[in-house]
Amino acid sequence: MQHSKEIRVGFAVLAGRPNVGKSTLMNVLIEKKVSIISHIPQTTRHLIRGILNTPSAQIVFVDGPGIHSFKEPLAQHLNAIAKRSLKDTDLILYVVDTSRQPAAEEEKIIRNILLAKTNVIMALNKIDKRTAFINDYIKFWQDRESKTRGKKSKLLYYIPISAKTGQNLGGLVEVVKENLPFGYPLYERDTVTDFPLKFRVADIIREKLFLKLKKELPHSIAVEIEGIEDKGKVVYIDTNIYVNRVSQKRIVIGKEAQLIRDIGIASRIELESVFGKKVYLDTHVKVLSDWQKKLRILKSLGYDDASS
């Protein structure tokens, strides 16, 4: 890479409770579909980095898992990643949903953000809806901040936005940019995401599963990519879909295998646009009780830094 001058370069982690619009926001900011969007919370299982390149900045947005309260290994692992990501960043973009009252779960998020000792920008999202609760979120923050002793994160701005209509997103990018350090780009300037291909493929398939299954099978499903083989004109992708019970397998496959076929078609269409060529997708639905607790499976799904 050749650099003539330093630009604004750094990481901005999106934090906030599920469904506030973090993934939507990241996708519109970088104008590419890298992050899974779903009405069902907690579908973003890895930290996804989306990179916004402008002539004067390279902003690396990180959209990670939320903080969970349950105790199983997978949840603990995700919490560790989420907390670490807050400390390991130049800026936290704290996203809230202004159409909904701040609730108890907000408290835990603010606590973790304050403990990270980082600069914070609060994005008051969904202003295209009723915005009755803007002031409640600001007050909520101020209250928690005044009660936190010692060194803590600092709120630099709050900015009302709509990830859906695009309102104020230019302004948001400006304040994010202004608060990043000067440096040389970390990634090639045409990079949109550094999220490993395998997980990006798994997320696309997982999103189609969620969209087709709606609320029927939210948390007990895992997508494992066995292999991706580029054979020139065609990319072959071999996938395992894990569920906990036989009854769930039946749901995923559907009547006369219609559902799994629809999921395969929808996935293939999107994958073909990602790869820019024909995709052959092989999906196997497998029953594996307690896959959430089996470390080998967690490893092949990419959750292999659980102890760090």
Question: Site for ligand GDP (CB under 6 A): which residue of 3, 39, 219, 286?
Answer: 39
Question: Site for ligand GDP (CB under 6 A): which residue of 7, 13, 18, 98?
Answer: 18
Across 286-303, b (16+ Cβ under 10 Å) vs e yields: eeeeebbeeeebbeebeb
Question: Are 7 and 183 in contact, with CB atoms under 8 Å apart?
Answer: yes
Nearer to ligand GDP, 105 or 226 (CB): 105
Residue 153 engages Mg ion in binding (rule: CB under 5 A)? no
N-to-C CA span, the chain? 32
Residue 21 engages ligand GDP in binding (rule: CB under 6 A)? yes
Which of Mg ion, ligand GDP, none does 278 bind, CB closer than 5 to 8 A by kind? Answer: none
Question: Are 228 and 197 in contact, with CB atoms under 8 Å apart?
Answer: yes
Nearer to ligand GDP, 128 or 238 (CB): 128
* Beta pairing partners, 158: 122
Residue whose Cβ sits closest to ligand GDP: 21
Neighbours of 307 (CB within 10 A): 6
Cα distances from 60 to residues 78, 191, 215, 226, 273, in angstroms, run 20, 10, 32, 29, 23
Nearer to ligand GDP, 195 or 236 (CB): 195
Question: Are 9 and 58 in contact, with CB atoms under 8 Å apart?
Answer: yes
Site track 137-176 with ligand GDP (rule: CB under 6 A), x = hit? -------------------------xxx------------
* Beta pairing partners, 284: 240
Residue 40 engages ligand GDP in binding (rule: CB under 6 A)? no
Among 225, 222, 273, smallest CA distance to 243 is for 222
Interface of this chain with Mg ion, residues 26 to 55, rule: CB under 5 A: 44
Residue 129 engages ligand GDP in binding (rule: CB under 6 A)? yes
Which of ligand GDP, Mg ion, none does 39 bind, CB closer than 5 to 8 A by kind? Answer: ligand GDP
Question: Where do contacts with ligand GDP occur on this chain (CB under 6 A)?
Answer: 16, 18-24, 37-39, 41, 125-126, 128-129, 162-164
Question: Where do contacts with Mg ion occur on this chain (CB under 5 A)?
Answer: 22-23, 44
